[in-house]
Amino acid sequence: MRSLFGILKLRLKLGDALLSPGRLVRFSVLLLLLLNGASSAALKDYNWSLSGSLLPGADSVEVYLAVRNDSAITAFSVEVYYDTTLLELAEPLENHLALAGRAADLEFFPSKLEDWGFVRLTVFSTVATAPFPELEAGSGAILKLSFKVKTPLETGASTTLQLKLKNGTLLSTYQLTAREFTGVPGDVDGNAKIDIFDLLELLKVLGGNGQESLFSDVDQNGKTDIFDLLRLLTLLAK
Q: Could you tell me if residue 206 is inside a domain?
A: yes
Q: Is the domain of 27 the same as that of 88?
A: yes
Q: Is the domain of 112 the same as that of 165?
A: yes
Q: What is the pLDDT of residue 82?
A: 95
Q: Is the domain of 125 the same as that of 212?
A: no
Decide: 79 and 171 in contact? Cβ < 8 Å: no
Q: What is the pLDDT of residue 41?
A: 65
Q: What is the pLDDT of residue 40?
A: 66
- pLDDT, one tens digit per residue, over 171-203 is 999 999 998 887 788 888 877 788 888 998 899
Q: Could you tell me if residue 184 is inside a domain?
A: no
Q: Is the domain of 14 the same as that of 108?
A: yes
Q: Is the domain of 41 the same as that of 129?
A: yes
Nearest to 149 by CA among 213, 49, 81, 54: 54
What burial class does residue 27 get, using C-beta atoms within 10 Å of its C-beta: 0-12 exposed, 13-18 middle, 19+ buried? buried
Decide: 159 and 88 in contact? Cβ < 8 Å: no
- d(CA 84, CA 192) in angstroms, rounded, equals 31
Q: What is the pTM of this model?
A: 0.72
DSSP codes of every residue in 49-71: EEEE-B-TT-SEEEEEEEEEESS
Q: Is the domain of 130 the same as that of 202?
A: no
Q: What range does the domain containing 212 cover? A: 196-237
Q: Is the domain of 128 the same as that of 213?
A: no
Q: Which residues of the chain have pLDDT under 70?
A: 1-41, 128-129
Q: Could you tell me if residue 147 is inside a domain?
A: yes
Q: What is the pLDDT of residue 36?
A: 46
- d(CA 146, CA 5) in angstroms, rounded, equals 25
Q: Is the domain of 91 the same as that of 148?
A: yes
Q: What is the pLDDT of residue 4?
A: 42
Q: Is the domain of 166 the same as that of 224?
A: no
Q: Could you tell me if residue 226 is inside a domain?
A: yes
How many structural domains does the chain have? 2
Decide: 173 and 90 in contact? Cβ < 8 Å: no
Q: Is the domain of 16 the same as that of 52?
A: yes
Q: Is the domain of 166 the same as that of 216?
A: no
Q: Could you tell me if residue 102 is inside a domain?
A: yes
